[in-house]
């Protein structure tokens, strides 16, 4: 099999992470098209790809530029994988069109804004025999991979609780950059936009089926957006564990912390750093390793909260296509955190705990 041919639809802020990942994986992948309703955005992302390849003395053809993803799909440009990085409310429709055209899809988080849309996407990928991957890239952070290994090997004994805290700051400037931010139709509030990564990790570590969700949300300091700027969620798992989420973009005066805490009868782990990139606490009864050792192995610096997980996520997606297996974060996995947040919104509206369906 030759190089996989990629196209990016939606060339805004996060798209450069996809360009970086494609440059990194240039032996196996190439960017052949970009698409954005704003021509300049699509053209500049295509140029950025060529420039980054040239920085590494790698020659490459300029990707084709489109303003309409329908035309991209109808064109005679051969494409294997389409990356969808538009505003969240458009993910489902664009994904369905691409999956139906038998393209593999990497869709940014959240994969959709309704469970029905997520289910349709999962089914559509199955029916067309293509891969669907959701960009929860923090699962590939080294501290998170190490924590997951400890969970899988049973080092915690019984895990009884976990906490995800996302105490960040987003100001008016952030929200006015794009009119879709903070609207229920296109985005959701801080839980759906900023906190979804850590909610994904919390449910992944606590494991298994969720039975009940309690949720409270409020908008304290951002009157110009429709959705929440503060949210609190409690999760009851079938295995008895309880998960707690506190997420906000109201912290004065800047981002304070993003932490994931896992509590077991024989182990305690806290992962922190600006975006879950540092091990803060690592204690196990088995004393197989110690904090200093794990920090030296796993802690890594990042240049912003997006981290560097897109590159290993691409490695996993490319391998899943080559080996015909599910990507680590397929549609079923990607749906979980989104669905938790939608249940929390429902619980808040009803002012009662809701069953997780
Ligand atoms: N994985 C992460 O850590 C991470 C980080 C930031 C954003 N995101 C997600 O990525 C998505 C985009 O966020 P962003 O901050 O880059 O937004 P953005 O507003 O900067 O970019 C979105 C781009 O999509 C384009 N677009 C809109 N409709 C289109 C269409 N029909 N066809 C083609 N292009 C279209 C817009 O013109 C814009 O350039 C969101 O879903 C967001 O939640 C993920």
**pLDDT tens digits along 148-162:** 999 999 999 999 999
Backbone angles phi, psi at 167, to 5 degrees: -110, 90
Segment 185-189 shows an average pLDDT of 98
Task: Look up tokens 């400037």; give the residue.
Answer: 173
Burial per residue of 195-205, b for 16 or more beta-carbon CB atoms within 10 angstroms, e otherwise:
bbbbbbbbbbb
Tokens of 332: 């079923």
Residue 1 has pLDDT above 80, yes or no: no
Confidence of residue 132 (pLDDT cuts 50, 70, 90): very high
3-class secondary structure, 268: strand
What is the pLDDT, as a whole number, of residue 342? 98
At 324 the pLDDT is 98
Which residue in the block uniquely carries the two structure tokens 């006015």? Answer: 176
Please tell me the least confidently modeled range out of 21-25, 275-279, 284-288, 328-332: 275-279
Helix (H) or strand (E) holding 341: helix 331-350
Residue 194 near ligand 1, beta carbon < 6 Å: no
- Kindly give, in sequence order, each residue whose CB lies less than 8 Å from that of residue 203, ignoring residues fewer than 6 positions away: 210, 235, 243, 336, 337, 340
Please tell me the predicted confidence (pLDDT) of residue 164: 98
Question: Mean pLDDT over residues 286-305, rounded?
Answer: 92
**Radius of gyration for the alpha carbons in the chain, expressed in angstroms and rounded:** 20
Out of 8, 11, 12, give the residue to mutate to test ligand 1, the one with the largest number of ligand atoms within 8 Å of its CB.
12
**Helices assigned H by DSSP within the chain:** 15-24, 39-55, 69-74, 91-100, 115-127, 142-152, 172-176, 190-193, 196-206, 291-298, 310-323, 331-350
Under the banding of pLDDT at 50, 70 and 90, the label for residue 307 is: confident
Q: To test the ligand 1 pocket, which listed residue (9, 10, 67, 137) has its Cβ within 8 A of the most ligand atoms?
A: 10
Q: Assess whether the C-beta atom of 137 lies below 6 angstroms from ligand 1.
A: yes
Task: Report the predicted TM-score, pTM, of the whole model to 2 decimal places.
Answer: 0.98
- Whole-number pLDDT of residue 271: 98
pLDDT digits (tens, 9 = 90+) for 308-338: 899 999 999 999 999 999 999 999 999 999 9
């Amino acid at each position: 099999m030759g190089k996989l041919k990629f196209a990016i639809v939606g060339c805004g802020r996060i798209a450069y992470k996809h360009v970086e990942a494609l440059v990194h994986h240039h032996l196996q992948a190439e960017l052949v098209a970009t698409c954005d309703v704003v021509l300049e955005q699509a053209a500049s992302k295509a140029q950025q790809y060529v420039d980054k390849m040239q920085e590494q003395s790698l020659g490459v053809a300029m990707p084709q530029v489109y303003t309409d993803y329908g035309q991209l799909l109808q064109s005679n440009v051969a494409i294997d994988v389409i990356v969808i990085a538009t505003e969240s409310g458009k993910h489902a429709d664009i994904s369905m069109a691409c999956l139906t055209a038998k393209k593999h899809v990497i869709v940014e988080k959240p994969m959709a804004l309704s469970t029905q849309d997520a289910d349709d996407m999962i089914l559509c990928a199955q029916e067309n025999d293509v891969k669907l991957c959701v960009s929860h890239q923090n699962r590939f952070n080294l501290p998170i991979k190490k924590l997951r290994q400890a969970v899988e090997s049973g080092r915690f004994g019984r895990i009884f609780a976990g906490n995800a805290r996302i105490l960040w700051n987003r100001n008016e400037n952030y929200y006015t950059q794009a009119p879709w931010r903070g609207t229920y139709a296109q985005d959701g509030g801080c839980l759906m936009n900023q906190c979804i990564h850590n909610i994904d990790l919390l449910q992944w570590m606590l494991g298994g089926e969720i039975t009940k969700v309690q949720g409270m949300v409020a908008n304290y300091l951002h009157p110009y957006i429709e959705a929440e700027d503060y949210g609190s969620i409690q999760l009851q798992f079938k295995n008895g564990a309880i998960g707690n989420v506190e997420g906000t973009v109201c912290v004065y005066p800047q981002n304070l912390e993003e932490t994931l805490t896992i509590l077991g009868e024989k182990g305690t782990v806290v992962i922190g750093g600006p975006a879950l990139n540092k091990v803060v606490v690592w204690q196990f009864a088995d004393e197989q390793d110690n904090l200093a050792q794990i920090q030296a192995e796993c802690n890594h610096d990042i240049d912003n909260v997006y981290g560097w997980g897109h590159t290993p996520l691409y490695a996993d997606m490319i391998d899943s296509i080559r080996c015909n297996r599910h990507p680590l974060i397929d549609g079923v996995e990607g749906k979980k955190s989104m669905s938790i947040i939608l249940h929390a919104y429902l619980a808040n509206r009803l002012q009662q705990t809701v069953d997780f369906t």
